[in-house]
Amino acid sequence: MDLFKKCDQFVEYVDSIKEHGMYPYFHALTSGQDTEVIMSGIKTVMIGSNNYLGLTNNQEVISAGVEALKKFGSGCSGSRFLNGTLDLHIKLEEELSKFLKKEAVLTFSTGFQTNLGIISAITDRHDVIVGDRENHASIVDGCRLSFAKLMKYKHNDMEELESILANIPEDKGILIVTDGVFSMSGDIANLPEIVRLAKKYGARIMVDDAHAFGVIGKHGRGTAEHFGLEDEIDIYMGTFSKSLASLGGYCASSRKVIDYIKHKSRPFIFSASITPASVACALKALEIIKKEPERMVNLKNISNYMRSLLKGYGIKIIEAETPIIPILTYTDDNTFLACKLLLERGVYVNPVISPAVDDGYQMLRTSYTATHTREQMEYAALQIKEVLEMLGILNK
């Protein structure tokens, strides 16, 4: 059979969606990422980005990136392991280490690569990884790359987690890995129970705080701070592409674990280091997070305001306490059509369809920014209500 046959079949499906004008991906922006953008030529309220603290267009962040670009050039031309380490990389790692209250931090070139690099280095075919079924794709792929045995428990189901842990042989190393804030549903992992079970069964814990850093916890340190469990988590992972308004990722842990990953992680060793501008932007964003805690307060307030508007219209959402608010659309066609109609009205949302979620739980993933205004939320909520009415799924 021709290897490319699958490509032909898939492209036929994609082309049919495009012909009906419902293809929801790869819309081009001709403006910066902000609460309002120009997308496909339309002035659009952006409620689909992960720019949680509104720092992507912050002038201090931009200036820091420009100065780094002038001083260090456009790239590092090598791996951190060899010629690609700048003093900026070291400074960012030191500042993150102090902020996160961990002995050491290691940065990676992307968030996806961070999970690949940590999990594949720290576990192997002699170990067992136990993960939530709704963990991010980068966690799943990191587990595959490690060759460890992966066992999944139902989303936030602590009884199933304990059942799995209780049946793992004592001679196996165990890593429990979970998103802190789940990227699709927006809910938070049951970290207190995970910590209890890890202690009981001798497991280590890794938390992916990509959507929690700068979002939850008194100081924005993420899920463990939110629950008061910072000393109980063995490895934190996070990204720079969300609250830190840049590109890259980090691993925070003990010095020994970080040194081990530095010398064993193929995704880290064989990748070029983060560009100077990206490092400088993340550093400046971290500084702003520390000196402007009101951004987190604003983010919580605007998210809660949008929840109240949507619920007031009778719109079915998945309840959580984060800036991620999923709105159920139930089918792929509903989802594609809703995205098309909303964009025409100047509102951008993210389509989430099967198999990313179970069939029947398709959704519009909306997410919010500290710098959104109430007027923008009121406009977006009204448009969502009217579109769902047109599709016959309001109050379903």
Assess whether 257 and 309 both reside in one domain. Answer: no
With cut-offs at 50, 70 and 90, classify the pLDDT of residue 1. Answer: confident
Is 52 part of a structural domain of the chain? no
Please say whether the beta carbons of 56 and 214 come within 8 A: no
CATH number of domain containing 89: 3.40.640.10
CATH number of domain containing 32: 3.90.1150.10
Residue 293 is encoded by which pair of tokens? 């805690």
| Confidence (pTM) | 0.95
Q: What does the pLDDT look like over 144-169, one tens digit per residue?
A: 999 999 999 999 999 999 999 999 99
On the question of pLDDT at 344 being above 90, the answer is yes
Assess whether 350 and 268 both reside in one domain. Answer: no
On the question of pLDDT at 362 being above 90, the answer is yes
Please say whether the beta carbons of 374 and 305 come within 8 A: yes
Domain end (from 291, 316, 339):
291
Assess whether 248 and 172 both reside in one domain. Answer: yes
Assess whether 286 and 297 both reside in one domain. Answer: no
Assess whether 143 and 200 both reside in one domain. Answer: yes
On the question of pLDDT at 379 being above 90, the answer is yes
C-beta atoms surrounding 331 within 10 Å: 15
Mean pLDDT over 237-264 rounds to: 98
How far apart CA 351 and CA 341 sit, in angstroms, is 12
144 Cβ contact list (under 8 Å, min separation 6): 150
Assess whether 275 and 316 both reside in one domain. Answer: no
Mean pLDDT over 277-293 rounds to: 98
Assess whether 239 and 336 both reside in one domain. Answer: no
Structural domain span for residue 104:
59-291
Collapsing DSSP to helix, strand or coil, 157 comes out as: coil
Assess whether 148 and 119 both reside in one domain. Answer: yes
Question: What is the pLDDT, as a whole number, of residue 396?
Answer: 63
Assess whether 219 and 249 both reside in one domain. Answer: yes
3-state helix, strand, coil in the chain (%, to 5): 45, 15, 40
Q: What's the total number of domains in the chain? A: 2
